[in-house]
Amino acid sequence: MKVAVIQFPGSNCDRDTLHVLRNVLSLDADLIWHNDFNDSSYDAAVLPGGFSFGDHLRAGIIAAHSPAIDAIRKMAEDGRPVIGICNGFQILIEAGLIPGALLRNSSLKFVCKWMNLRVERSRTAFTNLFEGIPQIRMPIAHNEGRFFAEDEVLDRLASEGMVVITYAGENPTGTSRSIASLSNKEGNVVGMMPHPERASDPALGGTDGLRVFESMVEWVRC
Amino acid sequence: MLVGELETTLTPEEMEFARRQLGREPNGLEWAMIDAEWSEHCSYKSSKHVLATLPTSGSNVLVGPGYDSGVVDIGDGYVVTMHIESHNHPSAIDPYGGAATGIGGVVRDILCMGTTPIAFLDALKFGEIAESDHSKWIMKNVVRGIADYGNCIGVPTVAGEVEFDICFERNCLVDVACLGVGRKEELLLAQATHIGDGVYLIGGSTGRDGIHGATFASRTLGADPDQDRSAVQIPDPFTKKLIIEVSLEAARARILRGCKDLGGGGLATGLSEIADKGGTGLNVHLEKIPIREADMTPIEILISESQERMLFVVKEGSEGVLDGIVRKYGVGSARIGEVTSTGRIMVFRLGEQLANLPTPLLANAPTIRRKGRMPRVRNLEPAPAHSSDLGKSLLGVLAAPTIASKDWVFRQYDHEVGIGTIAKPGEADAAALKLPNGKYAAVKVDGNARFCDLDPYVGAASVLAECCRNIVAVGAEPVAFLDHCQFGDPNDEEIFWAFSRAVEGIADFARGYPLPCVGGKVSFYNQEEQNRKAIKSSPVISVLGLIEKPSHLTKMGFRDDGEVVIIVGETKPELGGSEYYHTLGCVGKEPPSLDFELEVRTQRSVLECIRDGLVTACHDVSKGGLGVALAEMAIAGGRGASVDCAPLYAEKMHSDELLFSETNSRFIITTKNLSQVSETLSTANVPAIVAGTVGGDSLHFGLGHSLLDFSLETLREAYMDSLKGILEPWQK
């Protein structure tokens, strides 16, 4: 399978993600400049973390209007796996692929910290290997990760199984219902604030993140 | 002083020197260029001959001081670059923008060597935040400035230190060091060597921000700091991120002959320095420089310190490749001149020559031999009474802002981007980072203004010794260091004496180690103009170490119950300059002594124990003394220990001296292999005692006749929550 890691101006977790896909998981992965990405032979796509377009205007909104997102939308409709990590999650939300909004953390500060997480839904393209492993750890690092939506929307997200991962215990950002990750209804598009690529080496604190990408391989294989 | 329209910091002697060398009166633009390049900030004219005493060579040093970054060979075809910068004056006026542009500046120094920035470290000094709303405001915004900028450009901020003292109330110190990594064969230097090469200005446009920034940094802050606001530059981390990508892509494409960061002194400085290093001249065409405001004068264009700009010297014939790269990233690029054989910097506007100065004259300010005078003994205060409640004293020292956990600070920094931070803030004495050759780099930055104030020679040497101890404690061998000397007005003979003594202390310790200095910075004029109050002498040192094998990496938290706690080194009654005295409102007469030979021997033996796989946790004993060091190990490891300090008591030593003395040359290590550790230490004749064992959820201190006992929770509360409680009392 082939994975595309989309690089926007200001992306800064692009090479970290590429490293994990290529060198840890031995996947065929390409780093593609956002203007050059169009629907193609890729089986899956990653929108990596960072500060696309410097977070100007609002985190993720300018990237959400990049031509690359038209191709991402097509992949999403085809049922191919798409993951947005951190800024990538912000882009998915600004592109309307996932509902709601990500607001400034309630502390009004950037927070970089390993968190205890709970996998709420394992029937997605990025969590299917977490069946029976609900407690995991991955780090977060962001300024705008406080998920917000109206109560009806939050209820619908819960009832339709779109809440993928929540914070277990401490809620670091004041996010609604401790939400750390959401998916679309079909489960092939996932956005998450935690960084799986930073949790892919035991020496750096854990390997739960590897399972996120391995789930993607599993989803494509089945 | 005024020359025509221009306010200058040049002295009458310097102006006479310039006239004599040139054989005529320079015109206004030429004076402005000379003024920027000859500022203390850019030229090191007062400090050069003092700094020349530092040892700078070593078999692993590829580039030492004098270039934008020091370059250290780490083997296997790779190099590490390192540099340190401060943005003290700008941060005192606009803490957010000042701190942000400070890190924006130091990252360019790494980039222009053709290397990839991989880590920042910050050393910050503020006033007493518990008492001063002004210092709280400064600190919050400095930290946010560093966070917003560093996080955005994707370079982790991995370690640092923060000191608080009333002397920094109006003159905060904001130092940032940056580390880079690259391939040896791709190294670039800031020089223009080939006649005919094009000189390109890459990045943002040139505006009116940062005008006179270098001269502003070369005098004391005025009574009304708002007047200096235009000397502070405007940060734009997004453009910087793109410049990083462009610079690295251009370096990899091998189209650059040289690369130069535009910082203090702007184009005037950058252009003259690349030409001087290359032994060439440059023609510059002002109309080619993209400017933000149409009516900028030639002087403003040449001395503006607008951020996010780089100078590229591009190989003739490679212009097309550069064009492709800047187009991809949407970054501005303009060919503003070319390298010539004239040996002169010539400035033109639409063909009309506006300035014509010999490169060496511009780039080499005449040095100033300043006088130093040893101050009269100042401190006659009586020593305070010994503490009657040691438990309360220890919790007080743990919660003192200088000692307390800096969690509030480093949580705001993305310290993990780049997936190389193998020892994170709060886990170990230094940060450790993965290197492309399989080794780890260890880095730390340290300072100790109170020691240096009491005795600049011993104090500054102790700062270097402590920084090396921190590097050794994580299992690394120190390989190079940077020094950043921060003092008041060098016209004051006592201050210049302190500066000279501090450098002497650093140089003597470094020579004995031996450890090469690969770069640094000097920042004078950290002083209030009205009351002539200077900061305490504040040299800051950053040491780079190499961890040869991943298994050598050692952290500070207690690991397993039953491990033996060993206190390495002798504890003496040395409370001068200690944090304990500071909490009592006094200073003391002299800092702890430093036996250079014992210090080095102790570090060598501890490193040997670590490399032999005998050490499970290691922590240096410095600020706060033994009490704080043991508490930090317990908090970091989440487990307690029982320690009997009775064998440590020297004759007539009081318990507070034992707990809080900041005696040099000490470590605490834990081991499962007591006999081998003892043998290694005693063979090297390094004093050490077996003090206790790890275990339980509280920390017991046996202190001769008394006993102290703290639950981990009590320690954690004092240590972890203190800064947050002071800065954000409403969050509690």
Specify if B371 maps to a domain. Answer: no
B31-35, B546-550, B561-565: segment of lowest average pLDDT: B31-35
Judging by DSSP bridges, how do beta strands B344-349 and B281-285 pair with one another? Answer: parallel
* Whether pLDDT at A73 is above 80: yes
* Whether pLDDT at B374 is above 70: yes
Nearest residue of A to residue B237 by CA position?
Answer: A54
DSSP state of B663: -
CB proximity list for B468: less than 8 A, separation 6 or greater: B478, B481, B513, B515, B543, B603
User: Within B54-132, where are the H helices?
Assistant: 88-93, 95-111
Tell me, what's the pLDDT at A184?
A: 97
The helix/strand/coil state of B619 is strand
Specify if B99 maps to a domain. Answer: no
Tell me, what's the pLDDT at B534?
A: 92
Q: Are residues B472 and B612 in the same domain?
A: no
pLDDT-derived band at B208 (thresholds 50, 70, 90) equals: confident
Q: How many alpha carbons lie under 13 Å from residue B587 in its C-beta half-sphere?
A: 18
B154 touches chain A (CB under 8 A): yes
B150-156 mean pLDDT = 97
- b/e string for B610-624 if b means 16 or more Cβ within 10 A? bbeebbbbbbbbbbb
Are the CB atoms for A197 and B419 separated by under 8 Å?
Answer: yes
Which residue's structure tokens are 């990500």?
Answer: A102
Specify if B136 maps to a domain. Answer: no
Q: Which residues of chain B are within 8 Å of residue A13 when distances are taken between CB atoms?
A: 154, 417
* Rounded-to-integer distance, Cα B82 and Cα B106, Å: 9
Is A200 in contact with B411 (Cβ distance < 8 A)? Answer: no
CATH number assigned to the domain comprising residue B427 = 3.30.1330.10
Q: Are residues B548 and B559 in the same domain?
A: no
* Whether pLDDT at B144 is above 80: yes
**pLDDT (tens digit per residue) in A37-47:** 987 789 999 99
Specify if B197 maps to a domain. Answer: yes
Q: Are residues B390 and B448 in the same domain?
A: no
B151 touches chain A (CB under 8 A): yes
CATH number assigned to the domain comprising residue B260 = 3.90.650.10
The sheet carrying B157-164 orders its strands as B61-63, B70-75, B78-86, B173-183, B116-126, B157-164
DSSP state of A105: P
The pTM (predicted TM-score) of the whole model is 0.95
* Rounded-to-integer distance, Cα A87 and Cα A143, Å: 10
* Whether pLDDT at B732 is above 60: no
Domain of residue B326: give its range.
Answer: 7-38+188-363
Q: Are residues B350 and B396 in the same domain?
A: no
Are the CB atoms for A194 and A185 separated by under 8 Å?
Answer: no
DSSP state of A126: T
A59-65 mean pLDDT = 96
CB proximity list for B477: less than 8 A, separation 6 or greater: B471, B545, B546, B548, B607
The helix-helix angle for B237-252 and B319-329 (nearest 10°) equals 150
Which residue's structure tokens are 């796509």?
Answer: A45
Tell me, what's the pLDDT at B81?
A: 98
A26-35, B1-10, B348-357, B650-659: segment of lowest average pLDDT: B1-10
- In this complex, the residue of B144, B153, B416 whose CB is nearest that of residue A112 is B416
The helix/strand/coil state of B22 is helix
**Residue B298: how many other CB atoms lie within 10 Å:** 18
pLDDT-derived band at A160 (thresholds 50, 70, 90) equals: very high
Specify if B143 maps to a domain. Answer: no
Q: Are residues B299 and B312 in the same domain?
A: yes
Specify if B252 maps to a domain. Answer: yes
Tell me, what's the pLDDT at B704?
A: 77
- For residue B111, which of B249, B237, B275 has the smallest C-alpha distance? B249
Kindly state the tokens that stand for A38. Answer: 């169009």
pLDDT-derived band at B376 (thresholds 50, 70, 90) equals: confident
B627-649 mean pLDDT = 93
* Whether pLDDT at A219 is above 90: yes
- For residue A50, which of A15, A13, A82 has the smallest C-alpha distance? A13
B131-144 mean pLDDT = 97
Average pLDDT of chain B is: 93
Are the CB atoms for A196 and A163 separated by under 8 Å?
Answer: no
How many domains is chain B built from?
Answer: 3
* Whether pLDDT at B504 is above 60: yes
C-alpha distances in angstroms, A95 versus A12, A189, B20, B637? 20, 12, 67, 44
pLDDT-derived band at B306 (thresholds 50, 70, 90) equals: confident
Does an H or E element contain B469, and which?
A: helix B456-473
Q: Are residues B224 and B248 in the same domain?
A: yes
Pick among B151, B244, B246 to test the A interface (most A CBs inside 10 A): B151
Q: Are residues B357 and B464 in the same domain?
A: no
Pick among B419, B422, B549, B720 to test the A interface (most A CBs inside 10 A): B419
* Rounded-to-integer distance, Cα A44 and Cα A219, Å: 10
Q: How far apart are the first and last CA of chain B?
A: 53
Q: Are residues B401 and B440 in the same domain?
A: no
Ranges of each domain in chain A: 2-221
**Residue B378: how many other CB atoms lie within 10 Å:** 11
pLDDT-derived band at B469 (thresholds 50, 70, 90) equals: very high
Q: Are residues B558 and B523 in the same domain?
A: no
B2 touches chain A (CB under 8 A): no
Q: Are residues B599 and B724 in the same domain?
A: yes
Tell me, what's the pLDDT at B9?
A: 81
Kindly state the tokens that stand for B220. Answer: 């004391």
**End position of a domain, from candidates B553, B583, B610:** B553
**Tell me, which fold does domain A2-221 have in CATH?**
Rossmann fold (3.40.50)
A77 is catalytic: no
Is B419 in contact with A55 (Cβ distance < 8 A)? Answer: no
pLDDT-derived band at B378 (thresholds 50, 70, 90) equals: low
Tell me, what's the pLDDT at B385?
A: 85
ipTM: 0.96
More confident residue, B350 or B234: B350
Tell me, what's the pLDDT at B628?
A: 97
Tell me, what's the pLDDT at B556?
A: 98
A207-211, B12-16, B189-193, B242-246: segment of lowest average pLDDT: B189-193
User: Within A53-164, where are the H helices?
Assistant: 67-77, 87-94, 151-159
pLDDT-derived band at B215 (thresholds 50, 70, 90) equals: low
H and E: helices and strands count for chain A: 5, 11
A56 is catalytic: no
Q: Are residues B176 and B194 in the same domain?
A: no
C-alpha distances in angstroms, B576 versus A37, B165, B452, B716? 64, 15, 11, 27
**pLDDT (tens digit per residue) in B234-247:** 788 999 999 999 99
Catalytic-labelled residue, pool A34, A86, A142, A144: A86
A213 touches chain B (CB under 8 A): no
**pLDDT (tens digit per residue) in B416-437:** 999 999 999 999 999 999 999 9
A206-213 mean pLDDT = 98
User: Within B183-318, where are the H helices?
Assistant: 213-216, 237-252, 266-278, 298-303
pLDDT-derived band at B221 (thresholds 50, 70, 90) equals: low
Q: Are residues B607 and B568 in the same domain?
A: yes
* Rounded-to-integer distance, Cα B205 and Cα B483, Å: 32
